[in-house]
Chains A and B, each alone.
Chain A
Amino acid sequence: MTDLPFIGSARAALIMVTLFAHCDVAWSQQAAAIPFETRLESILGRDVKTPKGAEGGRIIDVLIDTDGQVHAFVVEFGGFLGIGTRKIAVERAAFRFADRKILVEVSSEQLQGAREYTAGEPPYIVKAEAAPRE
């Protein structure tokens, strides 16, 4: 008869554990969309290269429309010690993400013909492989 209170608290403990287990499940269901192993980081400042390695730059901005759809990334190409860089908007579809590297499938000619990106003006977006359009 002396262990009755013990059984009582053990049952209480069991109920508590079950409750907490449910909380745990609820949490991980909300967060389950992204597995813990996936590493997330900002896309700003990431290096990009054209497939042949001829041109290189960094992603410096993301262009979205009013629905929040990502249309293009702005890449700062070229330059030396920060002199002579060009900011060019390239459509999202031109980017290939593999491993830790980002490739942008545009040609040097496309980049040479592109107009620089200026915030507040309709952007000139370079398309993957096809002729650039405004």
Chain B
Amino acid sequence: MPTASPKSERGLDWFTFLVADIQTGFGPFLAIYLTTQKWNQADIGLVLAIGSLAGLLTQLPGGWLVDAAQSKRAAAMAAVAGIGVSALLIAMTPNFVGILFAKLLHVASSSVLGPAIGAITLGLVGHAAVGPRLGRNARFGSIGSGVAAGAMGAIGFAISPQAVFFVTAALAIPTIIALSQINAKEIDPERADGGLARQSDGTAIAVGALLRNRSLIILMTCIFLFHTANAAMLPLVGTEMTVRAGEWASLLIALCIIVPQGIVALMAPAVGRLAVEKGRRPILLVGFAALPVRAALLAATNDPTVVIAAQVLDGICAAVLGVLVPLSLADISRGTGRFNLTQGIAASATGIGAALSTTVAGYLATRFGTPVAFFGLAIAAVAAFVTVLVVMPETAPKNEPN
């Protein structure tokens, strides 16, 4: 079994940091960019909706593809190149067809890149060490997100929104360089899929059989409920800040984004270690318990101090889920050879939950006001916690060394 060299581990650190950077511009910021390119609201909505829908359709094939790929690095490299090209297209061809194609290219590439990072991680360090390593990934990823949020925001404001996408495209190059630092020979391709120990015939488990795994179904339900509760919270908070805080609003929103990233950067490796020492369930319960508390805080008040405190809780949730989801998936898919497909399924559950969250919360906020919207999200958050509490099993293997 190959082991990870320090150089490869450093390469993975930088890779997760840079991937988080290049993904930053593709969020709600894209809509802002399109308005500066004289797009009307209907076209913006259409292109983003098609992109989101396509995204949901590409998650499963993306995960399946990474399982099937012999070289996980090559899959990741192609995905990063796709994202770089997508950013370049967005910057250079801001017409409807250009942006639509760029968006589709981006979601397809992201659907491969996400599982590929998990595959490289698992292939590099194996199941026993993957908990702390996932924590380390989350640390560098959140540092990347935090730094990029500040930097891209500044670039978009000081130069132009278009510049953000040129910078994003340029960042694809160091990302690929970081990836190339990871020694391909140290990534065991079979281990990267979860290993085939449980398969008597040495091939990956049939997809149908995988989908009937009880732990997997429960985990997907919990992930779905979590994101149904979580996704709309930051946008609603942001809008409230813009209403209450006037000219300081942008700064406060930036803080609301960066504070959770800082929490994840601090806590994630410890979360990974604790999940190995104490088991997955206790950590999951802490993370899922923080969400209803956060929703209640945000429903109750607009005070900026309380909102920042709520964002600290967001950081705790993000640290827990950022580590525990891939870790639990590694546990559940162990020996089946379908680790990356399960990552794709989790990404689908995330995407569907997030879409539901923003749609329902948007409707509630417009019709009944923001506190009611937060209350609705709190109900989903409580449902998520109860599901984890009552039915989610411990996925750690019984004989895991401490």
- Same complex: yes
Measured CB to CB, the residues of A under 8 A from B are 42, 44-45, 53-55, 58, 60-61, 76-86, 108, 112, 116, 118-119
B6 is an interface residue with CB less than 8 A from chain A: no
Shortest Cβ distance from B332 into chain A, in angstroms?
33
The CA-CA distance from A42 to B237 in the complex, in Å, is 32
B242:A44 contact, CB within 8 angstroms? no
- CB pair B249–A81 under 8 Å, yes or no, is no
Among A54, A61, A83, A119, contact of B238 (Cβ-Cβ < 8 Å):
A83
Set of chain A residues within 8 Å of B156, measured between Cβ atoms? 81
A-binding residues in B (CB < 8 A): 24, 27-32, 35-41, 149, 152-153, 156, 234-235, 237-244, 246-247, 249-251, 253-254, 257, 366
What chain A residues lie within 8 Å of B247 (beta carbons)? 53-55, 108
- Known A80-B257, A81-B153, A83-B257; contact A44-B241, beta-carbon cutoff 8 A: no
Q: Which 8 A-B pairs have the closest CB atoms?
A: A84-B238, A82-B28, A78-B242, A80-B253, A82-B29, A83-B238, A44-B38, A42-B38
A61 to nearest B CB, angstroms? 6
Residues of B close to A118: CB separation below 8 A: 366
With A54-B246, A55-B246 as known contacts, state yes or no: A45 contacts B235, CB within 8 Å: no
Main secondary structure of the interface of B (DSSP, over half): helix
In contact, B153 and A86 (Cβ under 8 angstroms)? no
Do A76 and B35 form a contact, CB below 8 Å, given A81-B28, A118-B366, A119-B41? yes
Contact partner of B243 (CB less than 8 A), chosen from A45, A80, A83, A112, is A112
**Contacts of B251 on A, CB cut-off 8 Å?**
80
* Least CB distance, A129 to chain B, in whole angstroms: 18
Distance A78 CA – B37 CA, assembled complex (angstroms)? 18
Kindly provide the distance from the CB of B285 to the nearest chain A CB, expressed in whole angstroms: 29
Q: Beyond A79-B32, A80-B249: 9 further Cβ-contacts under 8 Å?
A: A44-B40, A55-B246, A79-B238, A80-B153, A81-B29, A83-B234, A84-B249, A108-B247, A116-B366
Q: Which residues in A have their C-beta under 8 angstroms from that of B32?
A: 58, 76, 79, 81-82, 85
Q: How far is the CA of A61 from the CA of B239 in the complex (A)?
A: 19
A84 touching B153 in the complex, CB below 8 Å, given contacts A54-B247, A118-B366: no
Minimum CB distance partner of B45 in chain A: A119
Expressed in whole angstroms, the minimum distance between the Cβ of A80 and any Cβ of chain B is 4
Closest to B237 in A: A84
Q: A108–B35 Cα gap in the complex (Å)?
A: 23
Contact between A45 and B37, CB atoms less than 8 A apart: yes
